[in-house]
Amino acid sequence: MHIGIVPVLDSYGGGVYTYSLNLLRALYDSPECAGDQVTIFSLKGRDDPAAGVFSKNTWDVQPLYPPSLKWQSLNAVQRIVGKALIRQIWVQLRGRLQKPPNPDRVQRQVRAERWFRSSGVELMIYPSPRPLAFETRIPYIMAIHDLQHRLQPEFPEVSANGEWERREYLFRNAARYATLLLADSEVGKEDILNFYGPYGITPDRIKVLPFLPAHFLTVEISPEERARVRSKYALPERYLFYPAQFWPHKNHARIVQALGLLKQQYGEPIPMVFCGSHSAESVRRRTFNEVLALVHRLGLESGVRYLGHVPDEDMSGLYAEATALVMPTFFGPTNIPFLEAWAFSCPVLTSDIRGIREQVGDAAVLVDPRSVEAIADGYIDFWNERRPAARSGRTRRAAAGALYSGGLPPPPDRCLTRSKSARTGGQYQPGDAAPRLMKGECRCGLGRTHRLRWQAAGVYHPGGAGPRQNDFSHAAGI
């Protein structure tokens, strides 16, 4: 089988960058995928060093978009002025000039579809949500990490300047047309079904694949490496740590307010180390500036350190030396830094909210993310070494890792077969039973001993004259 994958390979991508690398590594190391051909579609193509480490004979790297003067010119500009600035300009222009899409009419990317098909791919995998998945009309698996625009639209990063409409267009159609969706937890799966069940998604088309710590972290870190990281960043002897981009939902402001409250009570601030990007989107820049102003107003300059964007090779040392991870975020349902902290026996303080509560169990101190006083009390627990058991966190991390040992979760047990009854016409209407990628049932009875293989013999036709017949064949390979 020929699989295409569109990962996020820019370390500024945060959690989806980590998730992409872990998914690539799981496929690369899986014996079950040894006979499959895999093409990584990257913005940088073969020049992408992150993609280049996957160097089997059956693996290839191609540009995400077909070579053209337009993309050559864009890459040249990025090399000159920097990708961050290009991203910032694009986000600002999109918010002002681009009309939000109609979520019930799918746009087509014909050129990208031809490019993927010319590479011979039969199935696409998207570790992060992209409209490209359904706009190119190739069978796909997509991860949906959260639906916060539906759950908490009060946060501007998921709703302002047409962002709500763009997200709704993306997730509604991803659910309509996916071969398989990946959720990070049972709570995430529940959210997908609650919001997009009316558009045709069913439980058997959603599989749970939990997060894992970043593969580049080194748990067995030497004293010399610890000393190098400490020296590079001039770290205090003890510190609380929060690696997160400066979105409002990350709750940096209350973290700082809690530090200010403790300074008033005890005289000396507890050292806090932040890292993560704050450029590109105006929301992040504004949040970053507000947090810095708050630090200054509360007189915490000596206690709060901001390291900026930290390279992968330094993250192990920062986790290993931290007194605790502090992450009272408003978003879930799951988060990667908890797993990374547990890998280094680093205690965790996080939010007592749905999703996170199920992810961490008894392996973290849970607080109300809206309460500055509760966050401050959690700081004191850690600073006085009243820590939750690290063993529980390591157990939860190991359980998640076991699910990756065989590569991707298997597709639904109902496989698409030839069906003359498939819909061939009629405009799709919201609320109808959405076109599904499963017609007929696989009853081979081989269970886990067989490998499902999908061969596309037709594609759906979103947004046009109605879905065309989908025709997949199933073959069992022992």
The string of pLDDT tens digits covering residues 35-88 is 888 899 987 766 666 666 777 788 888 888 877 656 556 566 666 655 555 555
Question: Which tens digit of pLDDT belongs to each residue from 431-457?
Answer: 333 333 333 333 222 232 222 222 222
Model confidence band, residue 178 (pLDDT cutoffs 50, 70, 90): very high
* Residue 294: band (very low, low, confident or very high) from pLDDT cuts 50, 70, 90: very high
For 77, half-sphere exposure in the C-beta direction (CA atoms, 13 angstrom radius) is: 11
Arch. (CATH architecture) of 223-402: 3-Layer(aba) Sandwich (3.40)
Percent of the chain exceeding pLDDT 90 equals 51
pLDDT at 61: 86
Whether 2-213+407-474 and 223-402 share one fold: the answer is yes
**Res. 391 pLDDT band, cuts 50 70 90:** very low
Question: What is this structure's pTM?
Answer: 0.76
Domain boundaries, the chain: 2-213+407-474, 223-402
Q: What SS3 class is residue 200? A: coil
Residue at 235: amino acid letter: L
* Amino acid in position 401: G
Q: What is the pLDDT of residue 403?
A: 44
Nearest to 397 by CA among 244, 214, 126: 214
Q: Where are the alpha helices (DSSP H) in 179-246?
A: 186-196, 223-233
Q: Quick one: average pLDDT of 137-148?
A: 95
Fold observed for domain 2-213+407-474:
Rossmann fold (3.40.50)
Residue 319: CB atoms within 10 Å:
25
Separation of alpha carbons 437 and 124, rounded Å: 14
